[in-house]
Amino acid sequence: MTAALDMHSPTPAEGQMEELRPGTDLLRGQYRIDRFLNSGGFGLTYLARDSLGRRVVIKECFPDTLCTRSGLDVQARSRAHGPEFDAIVELFIDEAHRLAWLDHPNIVGVHQVFTDNSTAYMALDFVDGKTLLEIIEDARERPSPAQIEDMLRKLLDAVAFVHDRSLLHRDISPDNILIERDGNPVLIDFGAARERATRTSRVLSRMQVVKDGYSPQEFYVAGIRQGPASDLYGLAASFHHLIAGAAPPNSQIRTAALAAGDPDPYQPLAGRIDGLPRTLLASIDLALNVIPRDRPQSARDWLALLDAAPPRPAAGPAPAEAPDPVLDSATRSVISRLVDETNRAVAEARRLAEEEARSRGPAEPPRPPARRRPFAWRTLDDEDEVTATAPGPATPNPDRAPDPLPAEPDTSLGTAPAVRPVRRLAAAAPQAAPQTAAADTLAGAGPAPPGAPPRPGCGLFGRFASGALSRRSRTRP
């Protein structure tokens, strides 16, 4: 029940493409080509008939950047392209087997997959109808609001069926939705095989499998995760085109505007389009959110939004309260953007604070304030002394003799001493020693003989006192 492409496509000029000619037999006469339909860059599509005369659609694996045709056979353009071409043929066959299990009235059916002419082919159901893009471009065939909602619900059910089997379409757009004569929509031309091919082939990796206006921003950047919400964006963009008459702005342009702090150029349908249920329009706006996590996360979530009808007003007189102010769509868009930006900023600030806390490690307990050392008078000689780091002065022991001090070399001849004396501050040194030395000095004791150990207390006070006594002895008889 599905067919692939539209029969009214013009046949290209002779020699323009390397397509099979009408009348060519495939699979030993089981299929015969009627005419060429179109090319998608990764394959060629034909209208054909099977051995019973039924119309079918044939897709031929023909990545034209890697291969060429010689007679009927398809060959790699060079030996270097050979392995890549063989890998893409295998992907084409694998994808056909996957699609063959998708038995759904709104998904293209796969009859058979086979190899011939050194490449692979897929036989699909033929759908007698038009693409959604053709219907959009013909104002005389515009569907009614009830038909639009019916088509959306059926396609959402088909997309849910695909996602339940861990598959993605990856190319939902108006030209890949066929509308049968009775109005039944059918999804065709899955793009998953093309996306896998671009990851397999170095040559094909330069080709973007995107459609501006219909592809979400995650399709434009390699390595970004794609999921069910990505397909929902393409479906929402297709129905936006059907309802508003134009596709939504390119998702790359929208992403750049949000990154620069500018308003989203997208204009919501809800509040702008009349004649359709507000819940339907609001659900399309939600599925067209640039951020994947802000869209419905599954097709069933979207269906639930459609079923959530607004509450009906209660019977009786209207309440006396004044009605809420009506905000235009631009104001609502700005408010929504500000709320989103604020939430993202708060989340980012929390994340940075947590990372900073983890980098500092566990908090250290507060240290007690440092105790100041007690004040003590010091002499000039003490400036060059090495002070012991004792916790405090200990109680003097009168029975212990003071530690011997190193001898002070004689400087009377003007020779510089090799080493300055180092006075050790013993914790047990008696406190009365400086007083005894000062008393000896005041008593008229002369300078110590050479070689004798220096007396304690010969610091600043001792020198001053000795000089004062000398002056007094000279002035008195």
- The percentage of residues in the chain with a pLDDT greater than 90, rounded to a whole number, is 43
CATH classification code of 128-187+210-309: 1.10.510.10
What is the model's pLDDT at position 65?
Answer: 85
CATH architecture of 1-127: 2-Layer Sandwich (3.30)
Q: Name residue, tokens 């056909």.
A: 96
Instruction: Please say if the pLDDT value at position 391 is more than 60.
Output: no
pLDDT tens, position by position, 343-373 = 666 576 677 667 766 766 665 565 665 565 6
Out of 37-51, 233-247, 338-352, pick the least confident.
Answer: 338-352
Instruction: Please say if the pLDDT value at position 137 is more than 60.
Output: yes
Instruction: Please say if the pLDDT value at position 179 is more than 60.
Output: yes
pLDDT tens, position by position, 428-476 = 444 444 444 444 444 444 555 555 555 554 444 444 444 444 444 444 4
What are the start-end ranges of the H helices in 245-298?
A: 251-259, 278-287
Average pLDDT value for residue range 62-73: 91
Instruction: Please say if the pLDDT value at position 268 is more than 80.
Output: yes
Instruction: Please say if the pLDDT value at position 331 is more than 60.
Output: no
Domain ranges in the chain are 1-127, 128-187+210-309
Please return the burial class of 322, using the count of CB atoms within 10 Å of its CB with bins 0-12, 13-18 and 19+.
exposed
What is the model's pLDDT at position 10?
Answer: 39
What is the model's pLDDT at position 202?
Answer: 54
Look over the chain and give the mean of its residue pLDDT values, rounded to a whole number: 75
Instruction: Say what the pTM is.
Output: 0.61
What are the Cα distances from residue 111, in Å, to 27, 88, 124, 351, 474? 14, 21, 5, 53, 135
What are the Cα distances from residue 157, in Å, to 3, 166, 214, 299, 398? 19, 15, 20, 7, 104
Average pLDDT value for residue range 54-78: 92
R_g of the chain computed on alpha carbons = 47
Instruction: Please say if the pLDDT value at position 292 is more than 60.
Output: yes
Q: Is 177 helix (H, G, I), strand (E, B) or coil?
A: strand
What is the model's pLDDT at position 444?
Answer: 46
What is the model's pLDDT at position 13?
Answer: 39
**What are the backbone dihedrals phi and psi of residue 82, each rounded to the nearest 5 degrees, phi first?**
-60, -55
pLDDT tens, position by position, 9-48 = 433 334 445 899 999 999 999 999 999 998 876 889 999 9
